[in-house]
C-alpha cells in the first residue's frame, strides 16, 4: 500500500486580492507561507519517496516550505507544466467577485467550477484533466504501484482534475468539489493504483 498526498498551494498574493491567477506566476502571501508550513506539519509521520509540483512559484514555494518542515531537502523532485493551474484566458487578472456580480451566481459557478465550460481564450477543467491525468499515469503512478509514497503540491484545478480521476467524480458532481488553499488530502492506494481510503487533514 502506498500513500499519495495532495496539497493545494498556500494563499497567493492574488488569491488574497480575489483575482483570477491562472498561469500568472504569483508568489505566496505571508499567510500562504504559513499555510504551507502548516501543511508540512499535517504531513508529519509519512515518509515520502518522491515529490511532484507545477512550474509555478506558488506551488514550488509551498513544496519548499513543506520540505523544510519535514526535512525532505534531498527528496527526488519533478516540476512539470502538466500540473500547472488552469489558464483562465481573458479572465486572468480580473476580480472574481466583480465577475460574479456581472454574470450572476449560477453562471459564475459554472465558469469557475464547471467541467467543460469554455472561457474566452482559456482552458476548461476538461482541458486541465486531459494534461494532468496522462502525466499522473506515466510519471507518478509507477511510484505508487511500487509502494512508494508520493507528495504533490499543485493548484485548485489541477488537483480537482486529479481528484476527479482518483475518486471517479462525475461531470455533474465536479462543480461541488472545492479544495481550499493549504488543504491536505491523503490517499492510500493498492498496488494497482486503486484508492482504498482517503483522509482530509486541516
Catalytic annotation present for 9: yes
Of the residues 61, 65, 85, 123, which is catalytic?
85
For residue 175, give the nearest of 133, 117, 131, 134 by alpha carbon: 117
User: How many whole angstroms separate alpha carbon 190 and alpha carbon 121?
Assistant: 39
Active-site residue 85, yes or no? yes
Quote the CA–CA distance of 196 and 69 in Å, as a whole number. 27
- Residue of 9, 35, 123, 155 marked active site: 9
Catalytic residues: 9, 85
Amino acid at each position: 500500500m502506498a500513500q499519495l498526498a495532495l496539497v493545494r498551494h498556500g494563499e497567493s498574493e492574488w488569491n488574497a486580492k480575489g483575482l483570477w491567477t491562472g498561469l500568472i506566476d504569483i508568489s505566496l502571501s505571508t499567510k500562504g507561507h504559513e499555510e504551507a508550513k502548516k501543511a508540512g506539519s499535517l504531513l508529519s509521520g509519512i515518509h515520502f519517496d518522491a515529490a511532484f509540483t507545477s512550474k509555478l512559484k506558488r506551488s514550488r514555494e509551498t513544496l519548499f516550505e513543506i520540505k523544510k518542515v519535514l526535512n525532505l531537502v534531498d527528496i527526488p523532485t519533478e516540476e512539470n507544466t502538466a500540473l500547472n493551474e488552469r489558464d483562465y484566458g481573458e479572465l486572468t487578472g480580473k476580480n472574481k467577485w466583480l465577475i460574479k456580480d456581472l454574470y450572476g451566481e449560477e453562471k459564475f459557478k459554472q465558469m469557475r467550477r464547471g467541467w467543460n465550460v469554455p472561457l474566452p481564450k482559456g482552458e476548461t477543467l476538461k482541458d486541465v484533466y486531459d494534461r494532468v491525468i496522462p502525466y499522473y499515469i506515466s510519471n507518478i503512478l509507477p511510484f505508487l504501484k511500487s509502494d512508494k509514497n508520493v507528495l504533490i503540491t499543485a493548484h485548485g484545478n489541477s488537483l480537482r482534475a486529479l481528484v476527479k480521476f482518483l475518486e471517479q467524480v462525475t461531470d455533474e458532481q465536479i462543480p461541488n468539489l472545492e479544495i481550499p488553499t493549504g488543504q491536505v488530502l491523503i490517499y492510500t492506494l493498492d498496488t494497482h493504483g486503486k484508492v482504498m481510503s482517503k483522509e482530509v487533514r486541516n
